[in-house]
């Protein structure tokens, strides 16, 4: 017996409405479970296809007479795009948010109350309003409240990277309408956050679907900073000429300077940061989405909810805060599944800066300690001499084999034994302290180790130290790598405005030769141009 045309079979909806031939990965299982009224928590990486996990059940359940699915999402831009796409595909969908006029909102409310909408997108703050709750109650009483979908569910957790207090009241939905099924979705998966989501949204009975966080089409590349701008330009021109990409910088100033410079070098670059005029910002975002081959130079303000499938690379000129950030940001590359690259230039100053930002933040000591631990994990990834992907996935609790598609797998780095060099650096810092109690930064330390004759060296009489010139056989670059490691491992601490160096308790073991330090051999310096040296 052939099925009637509109029988709500999920795969038919996928094909008919969305024009896709098959579900991906766990989508089929999730869609089936939710369509049948089960609760679900879905952990799936960006680009994994979370939207279909609630859109298909919403349509199936609407067709079976269950009424409206309410989608909670904090991202206005995303609501906009999704509703547009759904309407285009012939699905009756709408959103309610603060950008609408009263008349627009009321027209949508009427459609919703009539039970005609398949999906209604709403910002979380709306769910707290008595008006909206009354409308949901009315729908519910008539059996027309079909499903709740809670997107970006990590926003409910303080441990996630994007806590929003309005999310805390989402458990209200469950208390008011306990028989309405719920699906919560997120792309952030570390263990504490996961447990917190389940607790706060009272999803203890929900089935948990965890997709692999691997993005096999993304190639991970982390290079040592030498002349970062030149390195970036070379990466873009050699490997991504005319392709769309995102370049992340830490500061607004650097965003503007970098975009300007790339433009002068012939790259179609545009700046984007939260301090820009909102009209210009929107225009840049629009051009990035619509035109081919735009390189967006941006702070992390750019990217949340921007669904551009053919971003071919994401570059970091500065170190992100932690691995979650790195994963989210790099995850914006290659959403179409085609090969893409995640490139990062990383140097000593990055380590020093990120530590200083944590130290100087107004948070509690407990919070700072968590942040330091997260930064350390990222530093270990940056310094790794083995498979990057393996480390990345391990951070999210996933075991894997060496990937064959990261810099370290493709070109296993040469290493050198830096144990002795590390001891030299540590004892030199120690000598500074003994010799007048002063502290110095990395630049001066390296000058002393390499026996450079500078004014500062003479001023402090450091040419008389026993550690003077003991490291002349190593290059400045090698010394920077040694220091980066020592700071990353916590043996050396940086402090204050000048990021002066001092020894941590744990340095003792290195000084005694109890710890072995294996470093990657420095890569060849950048070939062309002469921008100022940055670390
Ligand atoms: P997420 O929200 O998890 O980041 P999306 O739902 O935006 O991911 O999906 C990412 C991309 O993959 C979208 O362009 C979407 O249309 C596409 N996609 C998702 N599922 C499928 C599928 N089963 N077949 C083909 N394309 C899919
Ligand atoms: Zn690898």
So what's the pLDDT on residue 534? Answer: 41
Helix or strand (DSSP H, E) at 501: strand 500-503
Please identify, by atom number, the ligand 1 atom nearest to the C-alpha of residue 48: 3
57 has a pLDDT exceeding 60? yes
Ligand 2 center to 318 CA (angstroms): 22
Ligand 2 center to 400 CA (angstroms): 10
Share of the chain above pLDDT 70, in %: 95
Q: Give nearest CA residue, ligand 1 atom 2.
A: 50
Cα–Cα distance measured from residue 433 to residue 427, given in angstroms and rounded to the nearest whole number: 10
The ipTM assigned to this model is 0.97
Burial label for 186, CB within 10 Å (0-12, 13-18, 19+), is buried
Please identify, by atom number, the ligand 1 atom nearest to the C-alpha of residue 53: 6
Q: Give nearest CA residue, ligand 1 atom 14.
A: 309
Please identify, by atom number, the ligand 1 atom nearest to the C-alpha of residue 21: 24
Q: Give nearest CA residue, ligand 1 atom 19.
A: 49
So what's the pLDDT on residue 191? Answer: 75
DSSP 409-421: HHSPPPEEE-HHH
| Ligand number nearest to the C-alpha of 219 | 2
Please identify, by atom number, the ligand 1 atom nearest to the C-alpha of residue 51: 6
Cα–Cα distance measured from residue 454 to residue 446, given in angstroms and rounded to the nearest whole number: 12
| pLDDT tens digits along 309-333 | 899 999 999 999 888 889 989 999 9
So what's the pLDDT on residue 1? Answer: 39
220 in helix, strand or coil?
strand
- The size of the chain, in residues, is 535
Q: Give nearest CA residue, ligand 1 atom 26.
A: 20
Maximum pairwise Cα distance, the chain: 95
So what's the pLDDT on residue 65? Answer: 94
Ligand 2 center to 277 CA (angstroms): 41
So what's the pLDDT on residue 160? Answer: 65
Residue 492 burial (CB count, 10 A): 26
Residues with CB under 6 A from ligand 1: 20, 23-24, 27, 44, 46-52, 307, 309, 335
Strongest mean pLDDT among 104-108, 164-168, 435-439: 104-108
So what's the pLDDT on residue 397? Answer: 77
| pLDDT tens digits along 432-483 | 988 878 889 999 999 999 999 999 999 999 999 999 999 999 999 889 889 8
| pLDDT tens digits along 279-293 | 999 999 999 999 999
Query: Do the Cβ atoms of 45 and 70 come closer than 8 Å?
Result: no
So what's the pLDDT on residue 3? Answer: 40
Q: Give nearest CA residue, ligand 1 atom 25.
A: 20
Of the listed ranges 13-22, 361-370, 445-454, the least confidently predicted one is 361-370
- What is the DSSP-derived secondary structure letter of residue 338? S
Ligand 2 center to 502 CA (angstroms): 35
- Provide mean pLDDT across the span 167-187: 91
Please identify, by atom number, the ligand 1 atom nearest to the C-alpha of residue 46: 4
| Ligand number nearest to the C-alpha of 42 | 1
Cα–Cα distance measured from residue 180 to residue 265, given in angstroms and rounded to the nearest whole number: 56
Q: Two tokens at 2? A: 């052939």
Query: Do the Cβ atoms of 445 and 501 come closer than 8 Å?
Result: yes
Strand runs labelled E in 285-395:
295-298, 313-316, 340-346
Ligand 2 center to 411 CA (angstroms): 10
Q: Give nearest CA residue, ligand 1 atom 13.
A: 49
Ligand 2 center to 26 CA (angstroms): 25
| Ligand number nearest to the C-alpha of 55 | 1
| Ligand number nearest to the C-alpha of 26 | 1
Q: Give nearest CA residue, ligand 1 atom 15.
A: 49
**Strand order through the sheet with 313-316:** 218-224, 340-346, 313-316, 245-248, 295-298, 269-272
Ligand 2 center to 403 CA (angstroms): 4
Q: Give nearest CA residue, ligand 1 atom 24.
A: 20
Ligand 2 center to 325 CA (angstroms): 19
Cα–Cα distance measured from residue 120 to residue 67, given in angstroms and rounded to the nearest whole number: 11
Please identify, by atom number, the ligand 1 atom nearest to the C-alpha of residue 151: 2
Q: Two tokens at 142? A: 């008539």
| Ligand number nearest to the C-alpha of 394 | 2
413 has a pLDDT exceeding 50? yes
pTM of the model: 0.73
Please identify, by atom number, the ligand 1 atom nearest to the C-alpha of residue 52: 6
Closest listed residue to residue 26, CA positions, set 15, 16, 41, 37: 41
Q: Give nearest CA residue, ligand 1 atom 5.
A: 49
- Probe residue for ligand 1, chosen from 27, 51, 153 as the CB with the greatest number of ligand atoms within 8 Å: 51
| Ligand number nearest to the C-alpha of 413 | 2
260 has a pLDDT exceeding 50? yes
């Amino acid at each position: 017996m052939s099925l009637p045309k509109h029988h709500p079979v999920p795969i038919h909806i996928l094909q008919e409405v969305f024009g896709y031939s098959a579900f991906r990965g766990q989508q089929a299982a999730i869609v089936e479970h939710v369509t049948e009224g089960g609760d679900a928590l879905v952990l799936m990486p960006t680009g994994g296809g979370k939207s279909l996990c609630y859109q298909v059940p919403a349509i199936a359940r609407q067709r079976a007479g269950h009424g409206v699915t309410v989608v909670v999402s904090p991202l206005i831009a995303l609501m906009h795009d999704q509703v547009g796409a759904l309407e285009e595909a012939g699905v009756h969908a709408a959103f309610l948010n603060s950008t609408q006029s009263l008349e627009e909102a009321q027209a949508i409310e009427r459609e919703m109350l009539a039970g005609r909408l398949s999906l209604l997108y709403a910002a979380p703050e709306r769910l707290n309003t008595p008006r909206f709750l009354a409308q949901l109650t009315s729908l519910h009483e008539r059996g027309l409240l079909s499903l709740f979908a809670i997107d970006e569910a990590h926003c409910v957790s303080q441990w996630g990277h994007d806590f929003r207090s309005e999310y805390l009241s989402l458990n209200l939905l469950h208390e008011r309408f306990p028989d309405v099924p719920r699906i919560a979705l997120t792309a952030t998966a570390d263990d504490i956050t996961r447990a917190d989501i389940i607790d706060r949204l009272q999803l203890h009975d929900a089935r948990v679907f965890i997709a692999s966080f691997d993005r096999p089409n993304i190639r991970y590349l982390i290079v040592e900073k030498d002349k970062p701008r030149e390195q970036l330009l070379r990466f873009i021109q050699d490997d991504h000429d005319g392709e769309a990409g995102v370049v992340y910088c830490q500061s607004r100033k650097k965003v503007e300077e970098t975009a300007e410079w790339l433009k002068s070098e012939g790259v179609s670059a545009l700046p984007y940061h939260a301090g820009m005029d909102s009209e210009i910002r929107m225009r840049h975002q629009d051009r990035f989405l619509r035109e081919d081959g735009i390189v967006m130079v941006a702070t992390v303000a750019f990217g949340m909810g921007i669904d551009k499938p053919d971003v071919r690379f994401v570059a970091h000129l500065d170190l992100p805060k932690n691995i979650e950030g790195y994963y989210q940001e790099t995850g914006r590359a290659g959403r179409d599944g085609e090969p893409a690259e995640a490139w990062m230039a990383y140097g000593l100053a990055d380590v020093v800066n990120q530590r200083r930002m944590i130290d100087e933040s107004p948070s509690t000591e407990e919070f700072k300690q968590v942040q330091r631990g997260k930064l350390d994990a990222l530093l270990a990834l940056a310094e790794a001499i083995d498979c990057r992907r393996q480390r990345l996935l391990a951070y999210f609790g996933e075991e894997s084999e060496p990937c064959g598609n990261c810099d370290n797998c493709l070109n296993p780095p040469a290493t050198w034994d830096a144990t002795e060099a590390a001891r030299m650096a540590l004892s030199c810092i120690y000598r500074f302290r003994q010799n007048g109690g002063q502290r110095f930064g990395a630049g001066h330390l390296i000058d002393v180790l390499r026996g450079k004759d500078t004014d500062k060296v003479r001023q402090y009489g450091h040419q008389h130290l026993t550690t003077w010139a003991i490291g002349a056989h190593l290059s400045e670059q090698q010394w920077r790598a040694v220091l980066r490691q020592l700071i990353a491992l916590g043996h050396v601490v940086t402090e204050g405005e000048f990021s002066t160096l001092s020894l941590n308790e744990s340095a003792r073991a290195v000084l005694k030769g109890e710890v072995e330090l294996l470093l990657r051999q420095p890569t060849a310096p950048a070939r062309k141009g002469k921008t100022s040296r940055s670390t």
